[in-house]
Chain A
Amino acid sequence: GAVVSQHPSRVICKSGTSVKIECRSLDFQATTMFWYRQFPKQSLMLMATSNEGSKATYEQGVEKDKFLINHASLTLSTLTVTSAHPEDSSFYICSARPVAGQETQYFGPGTRLLVL
Chain B
Amino acid sequence: RKEVEQDPGPFNVPEGATVAFNCTYSNSASQSFFWYRQDCRKEPKLLMSVYSSGNEDGRFTAQLNRASQYISLLIRDSKLSDSATYLCVASEGYKLSFGAGTTVTVRA
Residues of A within 8 A of B (CB): 32, 34, 41-46, 49, 91, 93, 97, 103-105, 107-110, 112
Residues of A within 8 A of B41 (CB): 91, 110, 112
Inter-chain contact A103/B91, CB cutoff 8 Å = yes
Residues of B within 8 A of A (CB): 2, 4, 8, 32, 41-46, 87, 91, 94-101
Residues of B within 8 A of A91 (CB): 41
Inter-chain contact A43/B43, CB cutoff 8 Å = no
Inter-chain contact A49/B4, CB cutoff 8 Å = no
Cα A32 to Cα B95 with chains together (Å): 11
Main secondary structure of the interface of B (DSSP, over half): strand
A107 in contact with B98 given A43-B2, A44-B87 (CB within 8 Å): no
Task: Choose from B2, B45, B98 the contact partner of A44 (Cβ within 8 Å).
Answer: B98
Inter-chain contact B94/A42, CB cutoff 8 Å = no
Residues of B within 8 A of A32 (CB): 94
Inter-chain contact B44/A107, CB cutoff 8 Å = yes
Question: Would you give 27 A-B contacts (Cβ < 8 Å), ordered by A?
Answer: A43-B4, A43-B87, A43-B99, A43-B100, A43-B101, A44-B87, A44-B96, A44-B98, A45-B98, A46-B95, A46-B96, A46-B97, A49-B94, A49-B95, A91-B41, A93-B44, A97-B94, A103-B94, A104-B46, A105-B96, A107-B43, A108-B43, A109-B42, A109-B43, A110-B42, A110-B43, A112-B41
